Chain A
Amino acid sequence: MFTLSTAIVFLFGLVVLLISIYGYRVSAKTAEDYLLAGRALGVIVMLFFIMFGVLSAWTLFAFPGSMYLQGPGFSMFGWGVTIGYAAMLLLIGPRLATVARINRFLSPVEILGERYESKFLRVGLAAALVLFLIPYIGVQPIATGLAMEAALGIPVVAGALFMAALMLLIVLLGGMRTVAWVNVLLGTIFILGLFGAFFWVVKERLPGGLPEAVTALAQTNPGQLGIPGPLNIYVPLMVVATFIAGFCCVSFPHIMLSTMGARNVHVFKWLAILFIVMGGAIYFVVALFGSLVAPAVLPGLAGKTADAALQVVVTKFLPEWMSVFFLMAVIAASISTAAIQLMGAGVLISRDILYMLKREATDAQLIRWTRVAMVLVVVASFIVSVLLGEQVAFVVVIASSGLFIWLPQLWLGLLWKGATTWGAIAGAGGGFAFLIAGYIYPPLFIVPFPITALVFGVACMVVVSLFTRKVSADTISRFYDEVDEYLELETRQAV
């Protein structure tokens, strides 16, 4: 049935489409423009671009849902994500973007391939990261389809196809610039939906404010007011591991790609500051909503309903239009993340796999390959989601873990001159092997989440690097001396 709510959602789709068409009209039709927005993104667009590439529908669903059931201990994940990205933007962001600009690199894996002088590492890492991205991309339209079914009565498949079509249009038409612009709109909807719903629910259901929620929970579910939580999950090791797992999200390849679109080094200092302000505020409100307000005003949810605790609370206590607006925030979170992931997967396939087979490819060919790759990735991710059914959530957990494993190659490659080719291969191979072994035989994961695999990968990389041949002096010069000179020159010119 076509209701006003449905019309609002489709109007939202139309606005996104118009932005995409505008992005296509103003783009320069070069590979650098299509893949990296011409390396010209400023502070605000970059902030929304990265922030809402990181914050997916999970931030409004399973994340607060876990806190609804397990207490506020899981908020450590949000602090880890925020601190991780602030650290990345300040500690390696300027160097990553500068080395890419000087050498005209178009992908973060291309940077590693050149840094370690290894085509094998480049193609292998790109293929592995694409494989890990596919289930992650597939789950976003499905989640949106489920949310649209719950709020609007639209069939899941129709909602998922709507989302997939919108996502494809954004990336196919304008590339990274359009994704970045659209993320400003989507991020604004996300913030208004989340903050509006939170303050409205508190005003409507808790006249005494948040202390009233604490009083209610102290009587009915006191474990909800701290760690280790009502299910006794957040023991010290779990608290630390949860923070580290959040921090490791900094390795998402699609976010690394978007970092390369920054206009100059000054963008990064503002990004680090604003990321803490905005990310901290968003995670703080989600944590309050999920761990305190929702369990106080609507206790007793379980299973998948608890996962959607925020949407359930908003739908139950606020007017229908606000419920639809909150749903749009969920859709916005899904699209903003999935579009960047899709862009990232497309670039990895075209630039790091196909380009290695035919190195004289023109810009037009590279753009065409990226577009075709993105369509194929969407199809593949849909098939994977459908085939996996209920198992998709578990596979996404493994896939997310897989995206962590290249963290040492990236950070050490940019910061440590002593990182060698064989060290990087050993680190990546060791990390992936440990990860797979750990999922087959879980006792190998001594620490919760795949942190043990990451530590093993770092150890392999450092030890092997100490005993193997260094990369050439020319490469060291390109990745360290020339970057230092460029950054100093850029700073002097700005002064």
Chain B
Amino acid sequence: MREMTRHTSGKVFLIVLLGSLIFTVMIMPFLFAPNTVFFGWLTVPLLCGAVLMLVWLVAIVVYVSNFWPYR
């Protein structure tokens, strides 16, 4: 993590991870009416988890492939 704080792309990466975490855990679960279901089967807590996993996955793949000093 120390190496990530030493360059701009690393700082952006850490902000994306933290921001997505705060959004999907602290804000997104409470944006919808109780018992809202997406696609006929996806409940809100599961949607939040799926979004969080997806954002982190894309962010990590992009960062470690292109910007990580130890890539």
A interface list, Cβ under 8 A from B: 72-73, 75-76, 78-79, 82-83, 86-87, 90-92, 94-95, 209-211, 213-214, 218, 222-223, 225-228, 234, 236, 239-240, 243, 265-266, 269, 272-273, 276-277, 280, 283-284, 287-288, 291-292, 415, 480, 484, 487-488, 490-491
Contact = CB atoms under 8 A, between A and B. Distances in A.
A314 to B, nearest CB: 20
A273 B70 contact: no
Contact of B46 (A209, A269, A276, A288): A288
Contact of B49 (A240, A287, A415): A287
A266 B70 CA distance: 8
Nearest to A483: B2
Contacts of A94: 70
B29 A92 contact: no
A494 to B, nearest CB: 9
B12 interface: no
A260 B44 CA distance: 37
A415 B43 contact: no
B15 interface: no
Given A72-B46, A79-B52, A225-B35, A213 B68 contact: no
A319 to B, nearest CB: 26
Nearest to A90: B60
B43 A83 contact: no
Contact of B41 (A87, A211, A227): A211
Nearest to B40: A211
A226 B41 contact: no
A209 B39 CA distance: 12
Given A79-B48, A227-B44, 16 more contacts: A75-B45, A82-B53, A83-B56, A94-B70, A95-B1, A225-B35, A225-B37, A227-B34, A236-B26, A273-B60, A276-B56, A276-B57, A415-B2, A484-B3, A487-B3, A488-B69
B2 A76 contact: no
Contacts of B34: 223, 226-228
A82 B57 CA distance: 11
Nearest to A264: B70
Contacts of B57: 273, 276-277, 280
Interface in B1-48: 1-4, 17, 21, 24-26, 29-30, 32, 34-37, 40-41, 43-46, 48
B25 A226 contact: no
A240 B26 contact: yes
Contacts of B35: 218, 222-223, 225-226
A292 B38 CA distance: 13
Contacts of A90: 1, 60, 64
B11 to A, nearest CB: 13
B21 to A, nearest CB: 7
29 contacts: A72-B46, A75-B45, A75-B46, A75-B49, A76-B29, A76-B48, A79-B25, A79-B53, A82-B53, A83-B53, A83-B56, A87-B17, A211-B41, A213-B41, A225-B43, A236-B26, A236-B30, A239-B25, A240-B26, A265-B70, A273-B57, A276-B53, A280-B57, A284-B49, A287-B46, A287-B49, A291-B46, A484-B2, A487-B70
